[in-house]
């Protein structure tokens, strides 16, 4: 018998990522009405400019296709392509790989005291002052807890609608901003984050439904790196992600956050909410460099003895069989900032806490809490590198029972700040 002939996209090996192969099959089988697919094209590292321009032109051969923008950190571009164009691109020696520009989602499903942040705020006077946290999410609403008595939203980049003034048409990003740096202005300090005096930058990469494209998130990371010095960005908080289909070495979003890390920015990312099953870490949380945060359930008590890993929190190992997450922070029923009239506000009326706050659960909440704690460490010792911050958080964490693929500990702010300060003596000796 004659073997069934394979489609071209099944014969090109690793030139296409698995997600794109699946979408091409759907296209062939008529299971989608679209004629083009959103893709990210990566060039070979030594591609000459003339060949780069040739590829750009090749990708705009019809009215339906488009080259929508460059991805500098990823050495490529993103756009909408037909199947025939994608086939031609795989044959071009200047193309290293083509990825499906898949959807990225916001991760939804007594924190300050249980982490020990309230202790260092009171005893050490640390509040995240002069440290800037960039929240890459659905936007950031000018909530009183971020604007009074001082305006702490110092910049806003809208990569969805291009607006200039801060806003959040979904609600998720504002809650995350409050998790990290709310000052409790409307609650007399009760619902404050770990870094109530930190500055904030909102980078909107997700729409009113909490969704967006991989390429937009990558552009958001690029924006933070390009504006690092201008706004003093030391930390990125990303409570979003997408399913992981391949090694972090080939994953576009993982590569982007690594660039930010190596530019001196601490990157905190959510593990995901697909637990308790093993092997459920999403991208960019699968990257070994950045700080991947899992959610702990503090049982609504200050005492840490009854705290446990939240059942919904994604577990390792990653696709590369790496142990993840790196740290656990509170992520269950976290009370933070609400955006009145937003989709979250309307969908979860039972979670509202008064007029200005709402309680949410997820690794989305644990991640900015960790980002706020990182701000305290950087305030205590501004000379810390991203690697220093990660090492300090992990080495001072409290043991939490777990499997081989999930052996991270519970964040301990008091011990972490003490170790951050002790680093100074070593750093001063090095300078001498």
The CATH number for 47's domain is 3.30.70.80
Q: Which of 326, 364, 397, 406 is catalytic?
A: 364
Residue 40 confidence class, pLDDT cut points 50, 70, 90: very high
Answer whether 130's CB lies under 8 Å from 379's CB: yes
In terms of domains, do 255 and 359 share one? yes
pTM of the predicted structure, to 2 decimals: 0.89
Q: Does residue 326 lie within any of the structural domains?
A: yes
β partners of residue 66: 80
Q: Which of 172, 287, 361, 388 is catalytic?
A: 172
Helical packing angle, 18-28 and 83-90, nearest 10°: 140
pLDDT digits (tens, 9 = 90+) for 77-121: 999 999 998 998 998 888 999 999 999 987 655 456 667 787 788
Question: Which domain-ending residue is among 61, 84, 101?
Answer: 101
CATH at residue 135 = 3.40.50.200
- How far is it, in rounded angstroms, from Cα 385 to Cα 261? 9
* Gyration radius of the chain's alpha carbons: 22
**Minimum mean pLDDT among 69-78, 113-122, 173-182, 251-260: which range?**
113-122
Of 170, 172, 165, 164, nearest in space to 142 by CA: 165
Q: Does residue 188 lie within any of the structural domains?
A: yes
Answer whether 343's CB lies under 8 Å from 209's CB: yes
Of 146, 179, 141, 183, nearest in space to 163 by CA: 141
Higher pLDDT, 307 or 328: 328
**Contacts of residue 295, Cβ cutoff 8 Å, sequence gap at least 6:** 271, 273, 309, 310, 312, 313, 328, 329, 330, 331, 332, 361, 362, 363, 365, 366
In terms of domains, do 130 and 89 share one? no
Of 337, 413, 426, nearest in space to 375 by CA: 413
In terms of domains, do 115 and 71 share one? no
DSSP collapsed to 3 states, 207-238: CCCCEEEHHHHHHHHHHHHHCHHHHCEEEEEE
Here the tokens at position 190 are 């009760």
In terms of domains, do 82 and 122 share one? no
Here the tokens at position 398 are 């409290």
Q: Report the percent of the chain where pLDDT is more than 90.
A: 68
Of 100, 386, 363, 71, nearest in space to 240 by CA: 363
- How far is it, in rounded angstroms, from Cα 191 to Cα 316? 31
In terms of domains, do 363 and 303 share one? yes
| Average pLDDT score over residue span 319-336 | 94
Q: At 124, phi and psi to the nearest 5?
A: -100, -15
Question: Which domain-ending residue is among 80, 101, 122?
Answer: 101
364 is catalytic: yes
Q: Which of 118, 137, 179, 297 is catalytic?
A: 137
Number of domains observed in the structure of the chain: 2
- How far is it, in rounded angstroms, from Cα 11 to Cα 90? 11
Containing structural domain, residue 298: 105-425
pLDDT digits (tens, 9 = 90+) for 194-215: 999 999 999 999 999 999 999 9
Query: Is the backbone peptide bond immediately before 317 cis, with ω within 30 degrees of 0?
Result: yes
pLDDT digits (tens, 9 = 90+) for 247-257: 999 999 999 99
SS3 320: coil
Q: Does residue 4 lie within any of the structural domains?
A: no
């Amino acid at each position: 018998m004659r073997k069934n002939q394979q489609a071209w996209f099944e014969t090109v090996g690793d030139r296409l990522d698995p997600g794109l192969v699946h979408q091409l099959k759907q296209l062939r089988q008529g299971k989608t009405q679209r004629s083009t697919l959103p893709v990210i094209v990566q060039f070979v590292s030594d591609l000459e400019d003339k060949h780069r321009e040739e590829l750009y032109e090749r990708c705009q051969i019809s009215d339906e296709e488009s080259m929508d923008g460059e991805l500098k950190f990823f050495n490529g571009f993103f756009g909408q392509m037909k199947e025939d164009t994608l086939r031609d691109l795989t044959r071009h020696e200047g193309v290293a790989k083509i990825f499906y520009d898949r959807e990225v989602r916001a991760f939804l499903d007594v924190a300050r005291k249980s982490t020990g942040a309230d202790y260092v705020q009171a005893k050490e006077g640390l509040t995240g002052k002069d440290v800037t946290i960039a929240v890459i999410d659905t936007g950031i609403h000018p909530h009183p807890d971020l604007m009074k008595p001082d305006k702490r939203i110092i910049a806003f980049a809208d990569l969805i609608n291009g607006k200039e003034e801060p806003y959040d048409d979904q609600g998720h990003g504002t809650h995350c901003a409050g998790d990290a740096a709310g000052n409790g202005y409307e609650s007399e300090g009760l619902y404050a984050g770990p870094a109530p005096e930190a500055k904030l930058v909102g980078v909107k990469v997700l729409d009113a439904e909490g969704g967006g494209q991989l390429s937009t998130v990558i552009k958001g990371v690029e924006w933070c790196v390009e504006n690092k010095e201008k706004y003093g960005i030391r930390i990125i908080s990303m409570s979003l992600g997408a399913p992981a289909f391949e090694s972090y070495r080939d994953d576009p979003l993982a590569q982007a956050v690594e660039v930010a890390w190596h530019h001196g920015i601490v990157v905190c990312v959510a593990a995901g909410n697909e637990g308790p099953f093993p092997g459920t870490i999403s991208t960019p949380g699968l990257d070994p460099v950045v700080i991947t945060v899992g959610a702990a359930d503090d049982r609504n008590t200050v005492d840490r003895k009854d705290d446990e890993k939240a059942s919904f929190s994604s577990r390792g190992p990653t696709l590369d069989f790496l142990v993840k997450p790196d740290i656990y922070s509170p992520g269950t029923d976290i009370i933070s900032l609400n955006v009145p009239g937003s989709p979250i506000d309307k969908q979860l009326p039972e979670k509202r806490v008064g007029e200005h706050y709402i309680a949410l659960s997820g690794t989305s909440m644990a991640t900015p809490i960790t980002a706020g704690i990182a701000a305290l460490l950087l305030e205590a010792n501004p000379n810390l590198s991203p690697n220093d911050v990660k090492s300090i958080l992990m080495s001072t964490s409290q043991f939490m029972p777990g499997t081989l693929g999930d052996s991270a500990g519970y964040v301990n702010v008091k011990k972490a700040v003490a170790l951050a300060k002790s680093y100074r003596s070593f750093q001063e000796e090095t300078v001498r």
